[in-house]
Structure 1
Amino acid sequence: MSFISERSATVAPFRVMKILGAAHKRDDALVLCVGQPATSAPTPVIRSAHHWLDAHTLGYTPTLGIPELRQKIAEYHNANPDNVVVTTGSSGAFVALFLAVLDPGDTIVMTRPGYPAYRNTLAALGAHIIDLPCGPDTRFQPTVDKLAHIQPTPKAVIVTSPDNPTGTIIDPEELRRIAHWCEEVGCLLISDEIYHGISYGRPCASARDYSTRAVTVGSLSKYFSMTGWRLGWLIVPDDLVEPLENLEANLALCPPAISQYAALEAFTPESRVELDAHVADYARARDVLLQELPSMGLGNFAPPDGGFYLYIDVSHLTDDSEQWCDQLLHDTGVAIAPGVDFDPIDGRKYVRISFCVSLETIRAACDRLRQWLG
């Protein structure tokens, strides 16, 4: 007799994590498959964590987060702290949000390619997912014209900018049009903004600039280099605060206390200087890839406007990106992500490279790739 639920049996594996596990078994691995900054949390945050560990008892905090952190996040987004819900990473934010707004069978739109955890979590919760194919013609971003063709009107739509896996940023005017369309048709706009702060010259707007009904998802993992601290947040309309509080009280009780208190220092000028220096490092790594990859025959991609990913068309080399990435890791020790994680249909022709690593790692990976590709 099997005790495995039908729900869990339908959840696809997160292949990036499988490749990461295989890479960690090698001493010579160059890990460019995962979106984890090689940089450290800001010095003031680490200093504060030591202080709170030494001087205070860390127990449960309010479910919605400590007031001081909700205030800091609100100031960061020019929002009301009463509308801020602090969560255990943005992953926890998405689970709570999906539970709060979607019933089984409700329709939600996500772009393809897109972040696989959206799809897998939504599938486990019984939502009806509508793929919105987005390619190079729209720089892998949704448009109102594409959304307007979906019938019946979906209950929610997810926009990610800067995008994962492509790194593209949605045009502010298009985001405005999408926000207004969502309000007109009664569709909830969910704006994944966890890569805000990491951009390379292109303007990066927030959905909150155009709609008070939009939900913003944020995180300390990417720009703030605090992946393991597991803190994210939602900024939501008034009517969603209480349902989310009730859900979070049962799902997580509260976000991690030590992370919350230490994170108060993440928003200081001293921390921002360090974090902006990290972005400058990512920009240099990006420049190396933009220069080196085309000469290897890997030049078919949308140059990333933000975040730290390149999504590369390798259809001239393979129609099985997962096998291709496995072979690359086996032969060279270079770990990159197969596109099928992000697009179960066309992703077999794409791979994703993460460049939030040291410049030395990027250059070494380019050398190994060039030799392997011949």
Structure 2
Amino acid sequence: MNLTYLASRLGNIAPFHVMELAKMAAALEQQGRSIIHMGIGEPDFTAAPQAIEAASRAMAQGLTQYTSALGLPALRQAISSHYLQTYGLQVAPERIIVTAGASGALLLACAALVEKGAEVLMPDPSYPCNRHFVAAFEGQARMIPSGPAERFQLSEAMVRAHWGPTTRGVLLASPSNPTGTSIEPAELGRIAATVRERGGFTIVDEIYQGLSYDTEPFSALSLGDDIIVINSFSKYFNMTGWRLGWLVVPEALVPQIEKLAQNLFICASAISQYAGLACFTPEALALFEERKREFRRRRDFIVPALEELGFTIPVKPDGAFYVYADCSALSDDADRLTRDMLQKAGVVMVPGLDFGSYCPRQYVRISYATSMENLQEAVRRLQDYFRTGNSKNVVK
């Protein structure tokens, strides 16, 4: 193929360092090395038994054909009921669109709202794919440096200061990947009000909202019907490979999103939708809450353990399953440090390079979405790594 025909937008999409480290780790495992994975943000828990049984029934009954582009009506109603039971919010099922994962939801939202040259404000650091969704529609993600003082998040003052003539909205995540930090509800309300005053859109990625550990349940949907929210069955519901998510939009936007969904996706997987419906049974929800408590137990172990190793945790994560750790006391290059730890200690962490340009070589992201036994073994390996001088080529 003549590569001169490739679209120029590909130049705006950067490689994903997380996946590069995962490939390096896989190569070491093929050589017989024991590797502990604390890089990719994927729960070690898998789909609930109720979801698996529902998928099996759907296949046995032949419920495998296209659904509405908006999703199964029963699933949209179940998600609506979940908002009422968990957050006390009345969210009409007609505003809920079932998607092919949160990525599908973000793609639809950006397709509907982002046009060429439009600027979208995001915190730096952020999940890299979010800015790439904006770039895919020829918009410009404006990454605003957001440090520990801001909990690695945008504030209302920052939005007000950086809003320009081409700014069309904000794309936030709470809790966030890579930091595990949330935006305080009152501050998020002020951000939404400021964006509203300027006629912009507010998109909030809430795929980790079910994994908030230190606060009362909260959704940005409580801030007004104009807020657009993304969610997923991947994290709290432990269904990463099922590729199922949802999007909540203002009622007037539903026909436009439906038109896009019909053309871009036709529908989310029917089998996954029937499995997702079973996630809202009392038995499944009890299991997810039990797993949530286990994630919190892991967080409460790994944060002080990392500090004892010499990492600095400037903001304690309150959600998701990530720690964003300052490694500057150990190395002046997080990328080099993570590669060296993988080679010599068999522990995968990822550098801040993927997540923006704010001090990317100062921070590493650690995922604690693995067993407590693995976390304990990783700490033991890293204790040896730093104590025995294996890190001498990367430590200051």
Normalising by the residue count of structure 1, what TM-score does the alignment of the two structures yield? 0.97
**Structure 2 partner of 1:358:** 371
Give the deviation of 1:361 after TM superposition. Answer: 0.7
Q: Which residue pairs with 1:126 in the alignment?
A: 138
Q: In structure 1, what residue type is equivalent to 2:138?
A: G
Secondary structure of 1:104's partner?
coil
Distance 1:102 1:57 in 2: 35
Aligned to 1:59: 65
Contact 1:28–1:333, Cα closer than 8 Å, also in 2: yes
Q: Which residue of 1 aligns with 2:56?
A: 50
Q: 1:159 — aligned with what?
A: 172
Q: Does 1:149 align with 2:151?
A: no
Counterpart residue number, 1:8: 10
Give the aligned partner of residue 235 of structure 1: 248
Report the equivalent of 1:99.
Answer: 111
**8 Å contact kept, 1:169–1:202:** no
* Mapped partners of 2:54, 2:374: distance in 1: 30
How far apart in 1 are the matches of 2:278 and 2:26? 32
Distance 1:349 1:299 in 2: 10
Q: Which of the residues 260, 272, 278 maps onto 1:265?
A: 278
Q: CA offset at residue 98 of structure 1? A: 0.4
Structure 2: distance between partners of 1:111 and 1:259: 32
Are 2:182 and 1:169 aligned? Answer: yes
2:47 is aligned with 1:41:
yes
CA contact (8 A) 2:146 2:358 kept: no
Residue 301 (structure 1) aligned with residue 314 (structure 2)? yes
| Equivalent residue in structure 1 for 2:23, among 21, 26, 43 | 21
1:336 to 349, 361, 376: 349
What is the rounded CA distance, in whole Å, between the counterparts of 1:270 and 1:21 in structure 2? 37
Aligned-residue offset at 1:204: 4.7
Tell me what 1:217 maps to: 230
Which stretch has the larger CA shift, 92-101 or 202-211?
Answer: 202-211
Q: Percent identity at matched positions?
A: 37
- The answer (yes or no) to whether the contact 1:112–1:131 under 8 Å persists in 2 is yes
Residue equivalent to 1:74: 80
Gaps of 5+ in 1: none
Paired AA for residue 64 in structure 1: L
Displacement after TM superposition at 1:156 (Å): 1.1
Larger displacement relative to structure 2 (3-12 or 209-218): 3-12
Any idea what the Cα deviations from partners look like across 1:288-321, whole Å, max 9, x if unmatched?
A: 1122111111133311101110001112333332
Query: In structure 2, what is the equivalent of residue 181 of structure 1?
Result: 194
Aligned-pair CA distance for 1:354: 0.4
Q: Which amino acid aligns with 2:10?
A: S
Question: How many equivalent pairs are there?
Answer: 374
Cα deviation for residue 345 of structure 1 reads 3.9
Structure 1 letter corresponding to 2:198 = V
CA contact (8 A) 1:90 1:218 kept: yes
Corresponding residue number in structure 1 for 2:126 = 114
Tell whether 2:213 aligns with 1:207: no
Normalized against structure 2, the TM-score is what?
A: 0.91
Deviation at 1:33, TM superposition (A): 0.4
| 1:4-63 deviation digits (Å, cap 9, x = unpaired) | 221113310111112122222314111110110000211111111111122224111111
Supply the AA of the counterpart residue of 1:30.
I
Tell me which residue corresponds to 2:148.
136
Pair 164,204 (structure 1): closer, same or farther in 2 beyond 3 Å: farther
Contact 1:110–1:157 (8 Å) recurs in 2: yes
